[in-house]
Amino acid sequence: MGETCSSEEPNHIPIEIVSDEEMALIEAALAFASTRSFPAIRPSSSSLSLSPPHFHTNALSITVVSNSKRRLSSGSGSDIEDLPARKKKSNLSHSFLHRFRKKRALSVTDLTSTEWCPKQMEFYLLLGGKKVNQVMRAGIARHAKLEEEVIKRVEVTVKSQEDHWALKFLNFINGVNQLLFEGLTRELPIVGFAEDIWIVGVIDEIRMPLTENDHNPILIDTKTRARDTLPAEPQRRNGRLQLMCYKYLWDNLVADDFPSKKFFTHFGLNSQHNLCEDLKVISADSGFSASNLDDVVRYYRNTCSMLAPAHDQLLLRYEYQKDHSLLGEDKFEYDFDWVKNQIHSCLEFWLGEREATFIPEEERWKCGFCQFRTVCPVYTYSKGAVSPKSNDSNIKEG
């Protein structure tokens, strides 16, 4: 589906199975998405397009400062004995969605992590804990550097959950302003409603096409690699799912599919709650006056209504972490049916409609890098080495 370097090319880059360092970067995405703040952007010029790859804009951004700030993704301190004997039929009151995302939203990372390995996602929710090492921090730092090329962060204190959500919407509004005026924005937060579920995410990069007749924004995601190799197909598939989820949410918002009343009810928010003074100033700087969350949500919807659907061609970029050189690009077409099926499959897990499954035999090489392998029933240990096993077939190591 995507365009990648092949062995027939004269200067091809080999594709290898993921290493320890690369697996650390995959897991870093979960930690990064759950801890970073959302940049708010103010256009700094009136140019309509930018020629890649050099950018000279330095727009305003905002970092949340709050003693009570919550992570968008979190685990639990439960013991392995607490793993539930879950029913195959839906049981929402005991589902992972109800237990771990009640009055919250799923993140796109929640969906992609579930696609990567549903069982690993289950362990993560019930046992918690994601280790961050030097390699992972380097990947996070690279994304921060890319953001700094077009965004300048400033700090603002939020005092309530209404402020917290208003900031996300303001960041999106200002990011879209930068996109329309300058042709580029990065780290754009997105809040959408799809398949009767609230989903949030942060889009790495969005560009406006350079051709005058094309008004469909191009969604881009940059993956950093610890080795100068392209990833194996399961990783590329997971990256494609991530970008397709972003387009799915974007297109829903453009179609004015944002149920405001459901939003306030689900998250237990007071739509008339007065915003903190910092956010009132930011909204005024953004070109509109907002005194409460409802004002911001209405402007968020108005902003979405003037946008075109995202471009059907999506782009994954792979960088070598050592020198930031480009290893390759994966350009692929949006597949609505495929991404919808993938989302449905992930939601079956979150809604308690099916138990967490093990990954296919041909992908069980992933398990050698999973921090939960010591408690996963698909494994036994022999002389310190991990040996995959299965009740119904012999599993070969990947």
Q: Which of the four pLDDT bands, split at 50, 70 and 90, describes residue 55?
A: very low
Distance, in Å, from the CA atom of 189 to the CA atom of 192, rounded to the nearest integer, reads 10
3-state secondary structure 73-113: CCCCCCCHHHCCCCCCCCCHHHCHHHHHHCCCCEEHHHHHH
Residue 44's pLDDT is 33
DSSP conformation class of 369: G
- Do 33 and 109 form a contact (C-beta atoms < 8 A)? yes
Q: Which residue has the higher pLDDT, 135 or 239?
A: 239
Amino acid symbol at 15: I
User: What does the pLDDT look like over 9-41, one tens digit per residue?
Assistant: 433 333 333 333 444 444 444 333 333 333 343
The average confidence (pLDDT) of the chain is 76
Distance, in Å, from the CA atom of 95 to the CA atom of 122, rounded to the nearest integer, reads 11
Q: If you average pLDDT over each of 22-26, 83-87, 128-132, which comes out highest? A: 128-132
| Average pLDDT over every residue of 231-253 | 96
CA-closest candidate to residue 286, choices 172, 158, 164 = 172
User: What does the pLDDT look like over 138-197, one tens digit per residue?
Assistant: 778 887 888 888 877 778 888 899 999 999 999 999 999 999 999 999 999 999 999 999
| Average pLDDT over every residue of 246-269 | 95
Q: Burial letters for 223-244: b for 16+ Cβ neighbours within 10 Å, e otherwise?
A: bbbbbebbbbebbbbbbbbbbb
Sequence-distant (6+) residues with CB within 8 A of 391 are none
User: What does the pLDDT look like over 304-345, one tens digit per residue?
Assistant: 999 999 999 999 999 998 899 999 999 999 999 999 999 999
User: What does the pLDDT look like over 193-208, one tens digit per residue?
Assistant: 999 999 999 999 999 9
Task: Find the range with the poorest average confidence among 45-59, 137-151, 282-296.
Answer: 45-59
Structure tokens at 119: 């069982």
- Do 41 and 171 form a contact (C-beta atoms < 8 A)? yes
Q: Which of the four pLDDT bands, split at 50, 70 and 90, describes residue 130?
A: low
Q: Which of the four pLDDT bands, split at 50, 70 and 90, describes residue 93?
A: low
Task: Find the range with the poorest average confidence among 35-49, 88-102, 223-237, 258-272.
Answer: 35-49
Distance, in Å, from the CA atom of 311 to the CA atom of 209, rounded to the nearest integer, reads 9
Structure tokens at 167: 């900031």
- Do 107 and 200 form a contact (C-beta atoms < 8 A)? yes
| Average pLDDT over every residue of 120-141 | 80
- Do 216 and 308 form a contact (C-beta atoms < 8 A)? yes
- Do 224 and 322 form a contact (C-beta atoms < 8 A)? no
Residue 103's pLDDT is 87
| Average pLDDT over every residue of 383-394 | 35
CA distances 244 to 15, 143, 144, 203, 329, Å, are 23, 20, 23, 11, 16
In DSSP terms, 381 is beta-bridged to 386
- Helices within the chain (DSSP H only): 20-35, 96-101, 108-116, 118-127, 134-148, 161-182, 233-254, 260-266, 277-285, 293-305, 336-350
Residue 196's pLDDT is 92
DSSP conformation class of 385: E
Is 262's pLDDT higher than 70?
yes
Burial class of residue 337 (count of CB atoms within 10 Å of its CB; 0-12, 13-18, 19+): exposed
pTM of the model: 0.76
Distance, in Å, from the CA atom of 221 to the CA atom of 43, rounded to the nearest integer, reads 22
